[in-house]
Structure formats: structure tokens, C-alpha cells
Structure 1
Amino acid sequence: MENQPTRLTEWSEGSGCGCKIAPAILDQILSSSGSFSQNDPNLLVGNSHKDDAAVYQVSDDLAVINTVDFFTPIVDDPYDFGRIAAANAISDVYAMGGKPVFANAILSWPVEKIAPELAAKVLEGAKSICKLAGIELAGGHSIAAKDPIFGLSVNGIIHPRKIKTNKGGKPGDLLFLTKPLGIGVLATALKRQKIKDQDYLNLLDTACKLNSVGTILGNHEEVHAMTDVTGFGLLGHLIEMAEGAGLSAEIEIGNLPLIEGIQEYINQFIFPDNTYRNWNAYNTKIKGVVGMDLVKLCDPQTSGGLLIAVAEENKAWFEETMKLENQPIWEIGRFKAKGEFMVEVI
């Protein structure tokens, strides 16, 4: 009997950013540990507003960005796993408006059960994405453990006055998304061995695309707030933005971009278990969700798109700028004065 190829997703209960600790539990951990209390005036961005990365000012015109992101396999192919994990980690620097400069790898590998050669393929995939981002994979740390885990710690730079946080939104700001939703659905279809070949390619195309336009947007005051959509789904990250700004938001469900092919899987109830985890965490803060629309809103994304708040009077400028950068965008809603609900779906 021939040896069957190793399926990396068999080694994890969850996958990708769907492995994140539930929002309520994470809040409990951080608050109990005192992580929300930070007194260094040079720490410009820390845990207090659940932003994408930490930012530390080192001079009048320079701040350092640092983020760390890792997870269990989202796909079976080790090279693709490395690519997705790297794109996802680097995205946190882009989401702050910064420029990545180098990265270090984080690798956990069950070396007695999964061939070390496959771990090498993971690193090879990560290096390919780092090369696209114009940075070096400079080093890292590895351990032998029962679960395969991979990610990066990424360092970036930015001018202290150009930082884009997730809390800078203003009433009337338009909300734009730079990638379609559905990565979690497709990853679940893969894990259950139900995915079609073309849909797998759609998964890779979306998850491996860099959010590098974030560096450009860091230079523009017309962009008021920015974050990337990952494990808490569109709804979770939008609520973080709204709460940080003291606002509410409305989104048009018909305007949400979806990766081609995911509705067929949703109709078969193929989506991550953590979709319900996200829904249970946020459903009391939202109005207007009908039926299975909750999947689109709460699907945990891995290496999802940027969620961007732009002043309405600068809509034409923003759309033209994105067109020049060959960056697809979808207008999905707007911020408004704080109401009874954090998000209203219309």
C-alpha cells in the first residue's frame, strides 16, 4: 500500500485564524493580567483598543511597529500554509499604515510524526511572500510539539503622526473592504475534503494577496481608521472599530463581497464552528441579521482584507487612488452617531 500524503489540517481542530481564543475569554485574560494598563508614553498603540499591532515611538519622526501572528494549518499543502501565514502576519503592519522591514518565524512541529521536510516547505512558502513584501525572513524560533503551528513576528516602521488605528472613525465615514469574504468557509470545505479545485485556487488567491496598499494609505489623512478582517469575522472587527470610536455602523448586506463559490458550501452548512462562536460573542450588539447571513458576517477570515473608514467627501479621491493601485474595493456601509446597537444590517 502506498503512503498517503500528509494532510496538515488533520493535525488541528481549528484552522487558521479560526483558532483564535473567543473574544469574551480573551478580554477576561487580558483584563485579569493587567494587559490593558500601559503607562509608557512612548508606547503609542498597545492593548487598550485591540489594535492590529503595537507601535513604539523611538524619535520625533520614527515609530517601530511590531506584531506576532501564528496558527495551526489552514490548508494541507505546507508551501501554501507558509504563504498564507506570512501574508496574514505581515498584514498587521499594513493595517497600521506602516511599512514592514523584516520578520522572524515561529515554528512548532511534531518532528517525529510529520516529516521535517514539510516544515522546510512551510518556511519556503513564507519566504516567497516575504520576498513579495520586500522584506527578509531574518530568523526565528522553533520547538518540537504535538501540533504544527506557524507564523511570523513582523517589524515595521511608520511616522508617529501617520499611524492608522482602528478607533479613528468619524460619523459619516464610508466603510470599504479590500477582499471578499469566505476564507473560513472554503477552509472548512477543504478540511472536510469537499472543496472543488477552482475554489481552492480562489482560497489561495484571496488569502495570499498582500494588503500592501495599507502602507500607501498611511500617508493620507483622508483615511480615518483601518484594520484587517481576521478571526473575529467582519462583524467582530467592525464592532471593535465602532466601539473604539464611540460610534455605530450600518452595513448593506447586499454589498458584502463574497469569494465566488462559497454560497454553495453555506447551503450545505459547511462553515467553521467558530462562526457561531463569533455570532454568540456579538449578536446582542447587532440588529437586522436574517437567517444564514450571520455566516457572511461572522466567518473567521485568515489573511482577510483591510476594513477602511474614509471621509465621505473624499470618496472620489479614495476610489481613484485604489484604481491607480489596482486595488479592488467594495463600499459596504458607513459610520453614524452611536445608537442602541453597534451595527445595523440593512
Structure 2
Amino acid sequence: MTTIQGQRLTQYAHGGGCACKIPPGELEEVVAGLVPGPDAPGSPNELLIGLDTGDDAAVVRLTGPAHGTAVVATADFFTPVVDDPYDWGRIAAANALSDVYAVGGRPLVAVNLLAWPRDVLPFELAREVLRGGLDVAAQAGCHVGGGHSVDDPEPKYGMAVTGVADPDLLLRNDTGRPGMPLSLTKPLGLGVLNNRHKATGEVFGHAVEVMAALNRDASAAALDAGAVCATDVTGFGLLGHLYKLARASGVGAVVDAAAVPYLDGARQAVRDGFVSGGTRRNLEWVAPHTDFGSADEETRLLLADAQTSGGLLVAGEIPGAPVIGELVPAGEHTLLVR
């Protein structure tokens, strides 16, 4: 771990990783009514995925000689989720790139987004953060071309990413249909382990490697399997992102809680009280739309756990990924936990 005089990056942030997102209910109130028309005035290009369903990235189909190509654009940044600056950079970059993979795209170029308390934390740590992001972008075959920085009391890092996709082979959150199985490509529990790390300094190497892993292969596998519907699981938790997908698709969803994979130590972290406010807000948001059946509070919190750089949730079967439920016709509750 790279530190300067014992400084812990997570102690300079009010929240950690994607748990510091604005709560989903509040965010939807903010953006309500801000949905633009299908095409920008004067633009010859077609907006395929925009703000209307809260999907993972914006996608625009190009016209003219490049008519068979769609441009994918996204941005993601957050406060430190781990104390090691290099690992934080890796995780933040993988998380930003995930939005491109979640819509079936391929990242081409990224720019850094860095906020840094320059009078508090040495730039040696910032360099390590940027190095981590650069290394993960290189794994993705994605160029990093500079970026933007601001002096900020709280450190934040991420990337704005531009990619490409086949406009006829996209993964969307509004194309789910009853009968489609649901596959999850990374285990849950990242949020509670990160919260434990922030509170105690314990390092969970297995969680770091899960967060730093790209969703590239999962995206390719989903497309190869003929999937058309997916999202990634980040700050709104499994239930929050599944609720958005089901609502956008006009369907319901059943989750088999026993089939959902969890990281080692995640349940113990919940029992020991390391649950973020973001996770509790996620659960509060989905509760009116969910029939939890006999699921206990521990399971409910894990299903709503605010993930950072989580996996893809795909409406389809993917080799090696557990099937955790299925989409069903819309009913009294959008989500059912069994």
C-alpha cells in the first residue's frame, strides 16, 4: 500500500465509491422533465440511448460514411473507496469503463477527472491514482488522453470515456421480456466490505480484485449469447438497478436470493453493522415496489448493497455466470424476492 505518513485516503471522504452517489429517488426528481427530444436540433445523428430510461451510457448512431457505427459516451467518478491510491485508480477506471461495456460497446479513449485537496494530500498520491487508472485503461485497450483537474477539499477520481458499438447489437435496460433469465457476473458485498475497510483499515484483497476487474469479457459473452438487455450493478445495488431495468422494460422480476453469489466476509460485515447510508437508502427506495417474501433483513441489505465497480446483470444466460432469477410479466410488485 502506498501511503504518506500513514495517511488513509478513505478518511478524507464523507462516503466511499459508488455509495456516495446521490440517492436514486432524489436523482430522479432532479432530472425529471430534462429528457431532450430524440435528436439534437440540426444534428444528422440519431440518439439511440439517452436519459429517458436511466441507462448506463449515451449512445448515438452516426450517419453518412460511418452509419454502421454508434458512439458511446459516459462519465463516472467518486471518492476514495480504498486507502491504496493505485488500487483506487484501478477501481475507478474499471467502474467508468463498465458503463461502455454495459451497453455492449468497446472503449476507445478516456480522459481523467481528478479533484484533489492540493494543500492537504501530496501529489505523489495523486500520481499513483492516475497510474492505476492508466494501467486498467491499457488492459481495456483504451487510450487515456489527458483530462481535467480541480482543487477540491475532498479527493475524487474517475474518467469520461468514449467508445463505439454496433448500433444493431446494443445491450439496453428497456428491452427485457418475460421469460428471460437473469445472470449476474460479479458477487455482491463490495459495499459492506468497503465500509468495513473505511471504518477499520482492514484490507480485503479479494474485493479489490473484483472491483478492478473489467466487465469486458462479460459484455462480449452477453453479446455472443444474443442478449439485448443488461445493466451494470453499482451504487443503487442489485435491486435498485434491477428495478430500473424492469420498470423501463415494463416487466417484473423474480430474484432467487439463494442463487445470488456473495463475497467472503460480506454477511459478517452486515452482521457487524458495516452498512452504508447509501445501501439503506437503496433499500428504502425499492421497498415499496418489492415483495421480499421471507427474506431476512441481512439478505435485503445485501441485495440493496451499494456496489462499486460491480458486475453486469444480463437478461440471458452467460457461461460461468450464475442465473439468479428471471423476468416475468408485470404484477402488483415489480420485484419479487424468493
TM class, shorter-length = over 0.9
1:121 aligned onto 2:122? no
Equivalence for 1:146: 153
Equivalence for 1:38: 37
For residues 128 and 225 of structure 2, what CA distance do their matches in structure 1 show? 41
The Cα of 1:220 is off from its aligned counterpart by 4.0
Equivalence for 2:302: 296
The Cα of 1:24 is off from its aligned counterpart by 1.3
Give ranges in structure 1 of 5+ residues lacking alignment.
Answer: 320-327
1:50 to 47, 51, 54: 54
Equivalence for 1:324: none
1:64 to 47, 52, 71: 71
Provide the aligned C-alpha RMSD in A. Answer: 1.4
> Residue 15 of structure 2 aligns to which amino acid in structure 1?
G
2:209 to 205, 212, 215: 205
Equivalent residues in 2 for 1:330-341 (5 A)? 330-341=322-333
> Residue 230 of structure 2 aligns to which amino acid in structure 1?
M
The Cα of 1:167 is off from its aligned counterpart by 1.2
Query: 2:102·2:232 contact (CA, 8 Å) conserved in 1?
Result: yes
The Cα of 1:290 is off from its aligned counterpart by 2.4
> Residue 326 of structure 2 aligns to which amino acid in structure 1?
R
> Residue 322 of structure 2 aligns to which amino acid in structure 1?
W
Change (3 A) 1:194 1:81: closer
Equivalence for 2:337: 345
**TM-score w.r.t. length of structure 1:** 0.91
1:77 aligned onto 2:69? no
> Residue 48 of structure 1 aligns to which amino acid in structure 2?
D
1:171 to 169, 178, 192: 178
1:275 aligned onto 2:279? yes
Equivalent residues in 2 for 1:235-274 (5 A)? 235-274=239-278
> Residue 330 of structure 1 aligns to which amino acid in structure 2?
P
> Residue 179 of structure 2 aligns to which amino acid in structure 1?
G
For residues 14 and 277 of structure 2, what CA distance do their matches in structure 1 show? 10
**TM-score w.r.t. length of structure 2:** 0.93
- What do the CA deviations read for 1:173-216 (whole angstroms, capped 9, x no partner)? 00000000011011001011163x4xx10111110010002442
For residues 159 and 49 of structure 1, what CA distance do their matches in structure 2 show? 20
The Cα of 1:39 is off from its aligned counterpart by 3.1
Equivalence for 2:97: 90
Structure 2 SS opposite 1:155: strand
Give ranges in structure 2 of 5+ residues lacking alignment.
Answer: 40-44
Q: What count of residue pairs does the alignment treat as equivalent?
A: 325
The Cα of 1:221 is off from its aligned counterpart by 6.8
> Residue 292 of structure 1 aligns to which amino acid in structure 2?
E
Equivalence for 1:20: 21
- What do the CA deviations read for 1:241-287 (whole angstroms, capped 9, x no partner)? 10011000101111110011212211111121211111111100001
Equivalent residues in 2 for 1:186-205 (5 A)? 186-193=193-200, 195=202, 197=203, 200-205=204-209
1:308 aligned onto 2:314? yes
Query: 2:79·2:154 contact (CA, 8 Å) conserved in 1?
Result: yes
The Cα of 1:145 is off from its aligned counterpart by 1.2
> Residue 6 of structure 2 aligns to which amino acid in structure 1?
P
For residues 45 and 221 of structure 1, what CA distance do their matches in structure 2 show? 21
Structure 1 SS opposite 2:55: coil
Structure 2 SS opposite 1:292: helix
Equivalence for 1:233: 237
The Cα of 1:73 is off from its aligned counterpart by 0.5
Change (3 A) 1:345 1:294: same
Query: 2:89·2:132 contact (CA, 8 Å) conserved in 1?
Result: yes
> Residue 299 of structure 2 aligns to which amino acid in structure 1?
D
For residues 34 and 173 of structure 2, what CA distance do their matches in structure 1 show? 18
For residues 290 and 224 of structure 1, what CA distance do their matches in structure 2 show? 33
For residues 133 and 220 of structure 1, what CA distance do their matches in structure 2 show? 19
1:131 aligned onto 2:131? no
